[in-house]
A and B are shown apart, each in its own frame.
Chain A
Amino acid sequence: MEADLEPAADHAAEDETPRAASTQVASLLERFPEARFLERSYASSATRYTMVEVPNEDWVAFAEAAKDSGFDTFIDLAAVDHYTDAPRFEVAVNLLDIATAQRIIVSTRLPYDDPSLPTLTGVFAGANFYEREAYDLIGIDFTGHPDLTRILLPDEWEGHPLRKDYDVGAIPVEFKAGSVNL
């Protein structure tokens, strides 16, 4: 596998069968014309999932529609900092349909100057802790969240450490002949 291989080209060939297999996702995409189909899961993957990107304003509506169409188990919410890309931030929510054993990963992109997104806690109660984590570590502002405080870091912590412009930091190592700052 070469590093410069485009993943999209890799999966174009087997696209037809999995697309047909998930009529749920197809009908969701029909209802939201702005939503963009990203990719099916990779060929070697055991986990069957579909990745979809939606615009910010469809975020809650799409999650509600997905919940109604069977993706009713909240699994995960992750935030990513695509530093130097615009829009910079990505939030991805992972929903599972237990009956048909398939997932949908819905993502949306947020700009640097206004990383705010309406909360999903009204749709899935489980979004509570995950949104607090995304706020804490990446600095996404979930509007309407009942208790948007830091969850993993101390309250007085400054900055959002999982942003790419946040330095990893180091502790100076003491040696006999002096200290070395890593």
Chain B
Amino acid sequence: MTDTTKPTDETDATPEEVAAPELEGASRRRRIHEVWVSGTEERYPFATSTDEGAQELLPRDQETALAIQEGTLVDDDYTSQPEVISDERQIINMGPQHPSTHGVLRLQMELDGETIRRVKPIIGYLHTGMEKTAETLNYAQGSTNVTRMDYLAPFHNELAFSLTVEQLLGIDVPERADAIRVLMTELNRVASHLLWAATMGMDIGALSMMIYGWREREVCLEFFEKATGLRMNHNYIRPGGVAADLPDGWEDDVANIITVVTAGVDEYEELLNENPIFLDRTMGVGVITPEECKQYGVTGPIARASGIGFDLRKAMPYCGIEAYEFEVPIGLHGDVHDRYEVRIAEIRESLRIVEQVAAAMPTGDYRTPDPKVTPPPRKRIDESMEALIHHFKLFTEGIRVPPGTAYQSVEGPRGELGCFLVSKGGARPWRMHWRAPSFAAVQALPAMMTDSLVADVVASLASADPVLGDVDR
């Protein structure tokens, strides 16, 4: 072989076969492309392309793809300037390591000067195959897995999973289990929105907001740790009930959370509501219309900020949440500022629910008495043969779930969090698919961002509140 042979791809080339003798060390690993300089026959094998595979911004001749990236497919809510191809256009990659992408989201953007013309969100950097993993875990182990998806709303993940499994099993849980579930998920919503307020403040320059948000969230997490043993990824809500009863003195802890967080939220509003910089950076920025929300499947606070008054807790109530009094705050403009106001109002409403749950906490068992789902108490195993058998079967095999297909969703902090579960009988799910609210929100980012300024990208992204663990699963 001489160095004028055809270029060899690195995938099928052993080191001996690489033609160019000057290729040594690390450069051998690169994909080599031929570059011919006109007038010479000389080859420059070191030149590497900027090939990004299938994930590059698509060529302009694909109309639908272009409309998606320009955010004009559904609704053109910005009055954009006519298409001017200028030399100023450039492609900028934001992420996947950008600090304000809240994880590993990559946005490929076409800029015209300071204006965003096209956006393509690229995801998958945090994909860990949890839906595949779920098929190898039994239903008792399943909630350990799903709690790690949206790591800022672990209780909601567990709740959606448990409700779906219970739906297939056809069992109801005791009143106390329902009340504990509502208490925990609403506190989780508070914690999640507090973290959102903190990071959103940081992203748009209100740095003290970050410290305040984390400070109040810490009070919630301390209570979670006391009740479940863990600050995150609790595995607390399980099919059939919850893992343990509330700890001693939980009433005082909850009352403390309500006091501290209410005071904290008042402080945020004092800090931000009349702050001209904050208002300038959020009002009229990142607008998404109700029609776009419906088409892209955007739910939760983003849709409510656009004026869609839909909340699963009201429309399709779960866990007896309809017994508590609360309002569903909605916005009118669908911009970043309305999303901020909706979320802050939701913190207050969730605290209202928490207060009512704590006041009317029913007594009784916190797990279903069904022996096919709940393991027997330790003492019963010594006395009863059936209890021993049930215990053995539950821990060697797991809960057996009848065949069927079920879908159940809960109102997570980011929108509709749904679990689509296919069972063929047996102790393991056949297929578990998650309807992740952040996945839909990321998909709608082009509609929020295009034809706005590059500085507003961070504000729009922060207001969408995507959790990449939820997006990529």
> Which residues of A line the B interface, CB within 8 A?
1-5, 7, 10, 41-49, 51, 72-76, 78-82, 92, 94, 98, 101, 103, 105, 121, 124-126, 128-130, 133, 137, 146-147, 149-156, 161-162, 168
Contact = CB atoms under 8 A, between A and B. Distances in A.
B68 interface: yes
Nearest to B427: A3
Q: Which 4 residue pairs are nearest across A and B when measured between Cβ atoms?
A: A149-B54, A155-B53, A101-B315, A46-B318
B404 A7 contact: yes
A interface, over-half SS = loop
Contacts of B62: 146-147
Interface residues of B, number: 70
B58 A147 contact: yes
B189 interface: no
Contacts of A80: 422, 430-431, 433
Contacts of A5: 402
Contacts of B170: 1, 10, 42-44
A163 to B, nearest CB: 10
Given A1-B402, A152-B472, A155-B54, A73 B420 contact: no
Given A1-B170, A94-B420, A155-B53, A74 B296 contact: yes
A42 B431 CA distance: 18
Nearest to B172: A44
Interface string B363-400: 00000001010000000000000000000000000001
Contacts of A49: 407
12 contacts: A42-B167, A47-B408, A72-B294, A78-B435, A80-B430, A92-B405, A101-B315, A137-B131, A151-B124, A152-B473, A153-B127, A162-B131
A76 B127 CA distance: 19
Nearest to A137: B131
B435 A76 contact: yes
Nearest to A150: B54
B129 interface: yes
A128 B431 CA distance: 21
A44 B167 contact: yes
Nearest to B437: A75
A9 B209 CA distance: 56
Contacts of B293: 73
Contacts of B407: 41, 47, 49, 76, 94, 103, 105
A94 B426 contact: no
Contacts of A41: 167, 406-407
B404 to A, nearest CB: 4
